[in-house]
Chains A and B, each alone.
Chain A
């Protein structure tokens, strides 16, 4: 009887497999940039039609005026303001006007924010202030919808239930932030 020959085992050496995978892993780890697609959203007004320039009269009490000059100094409602984080609460009070102050807006629907910058204003302060302004609106929306601000901002509009919540918060109060064209001269 022929004895079976002792053969060398025909196995691929897989010991270094982990090393190879590690190498690839490290490559992808290094090249990956986790996409940071988050930010402040904004819709620009449409291009003005020369034919129909209507002067809309807005009562002064409804306007919430914010201006920043080229030295990044703030002027809010005619007064100098050093700390931009105060704007949020000021705007909430302006929109809702719970005490019926004749200086503040007639009703939430009528409230309009006018945000004016200079060409020399830095982008950072612009974003900080815009963040405050939008924050005030989101705060009001979220309170009306009965959820937290973070939840409100991340509502998915493709889901009817969430859409209903979104509408409930936003109903009758448009986010009226008007970004005026900036002045040309640094002042």
Chain B
């Protein structure tokens, strides 16, 4: 017989019994990190880029305002609008909105509320200023403009 006959008869299959465990581990990772979005964003969101980013320390104190041109222009018009939670609001409604959001927080933390603004690049400063004036009135003065990280090569 051939000289090169294989001597060992060890099984050449890769043991796959641990595969489900590995997949489960990945699965749990994604399950834990997933934040199911409660709100549908109804405005355009092309977030501008910046370099000097800071992270927010406590996410529970952050409330979001989305500003931009509505996605359904035939329904809501082409002017930039403010979206808070699920609805469009006018700048004058912000006072009430902030008060409601503050009520949801613990009493000692109400002053630490941070408003994160996700604003479309094409929005104009007029609406931003209106919002900021209202936030000053509502005494929610900590603000963050959400931006993406600017990388050197673009």
Chain A residues at the B interface, C-beta cutoff of 8 Å = 14, 17-18, 21-22, 24-25, 28-29, 31-47, 117-124, 126-128, 130-131, 134-135, 138, 149, 153-154, 156-158, 181-182
**Interface core residue of B62, B122, B123, B125 (most chain A CB under 10 Å):** B125
Q: Separation in Å of the B147 CB from the closest CB of chain A?
A: 5
Q: Separation in Å of the B152 CB from the closest CB of chain A?
A: 12
Residues in A with CB closer than 8 Å to B48 are 123-124, 127-128
Residues in B with CB closer than 8 Å to A117 are 125, 129
State A162–B20 Cα separation when bound (angstroms).
43
Residues in B with CB closer than 8 Å to A127 are 48, 50, 145, 147
B92 lies within 8 A of chain A by Cβ: no
Could you list 4 further interchain pairs (A-B, Cβ under 8 angstroms) beyond the known A46-B141, A130-B50, A157-B57?
A24-B27, A37-B146, A135-B52, A149-B52
B71 lies within 8 A of chain A by Cβ: no
Interface size for B (C-beta < 8 A) is 54
Verify B144–A42 contact, CB threshold 8 A.
yes
Given contacts A38-B147, A153-B54, A122 and B121 within 8 Å (CB-CB): yes
State A156–B58 Cα separation when bound (angstroms).
12
Residues in B with CB closer than 8 Å to A35 are 35, 59
Residues in B with CB closer than 8 Å to A33 are 35, 37
Name the residue of chain A whose CB is nearest to the CB of B23. A21
B19 lies within 8 A of chain A by Cβ: yes
Residues in B with CB closer than 8 Å to A154 are 54-55
Verify A32–B51 contact, CB threshold 8 A.
no
Neighbour of B149 across the interface among A17, A29, A38, CB < 8 A: A38
Given contacts A24-B27, A32-B34, A44-B132, A124 and B55 within 8 Å (CB-CB): no
For residues 73 through 93 of chain B, which have their beta carbon under 8 Å from a beta carbon of chain A?
A: none
State A153–B53 Cα separation when bound (angstroms).
7
Q: Interface residues of A: mostly helix, strand, loop or mixed?
A: mixed
Residues in B with CB closer than 8 Å to A156 are 57
Q: Separation in Å of the A121 CB from the closest CB of chain B?
A: 4
Q: Separation in Å of the A42 CB from the closest CB of chain B?
A: 5
State A36–B126 Cα separation when bound (angstroms).
25
Verify A39–B125 contact, CB threshold 8 A.
no
State A132–B73 Cα separation when bound (angstroms).
34
Verify B16–A18 contact, CB threshold 8 A.
yes
For residues 22 through 70 of chain B, which have their beta carbon under 8 Å from a beta carbon of chain A?
A: 23-24, 26-27, 30-31, 33-37, 47-48, 50-57, 59, 62
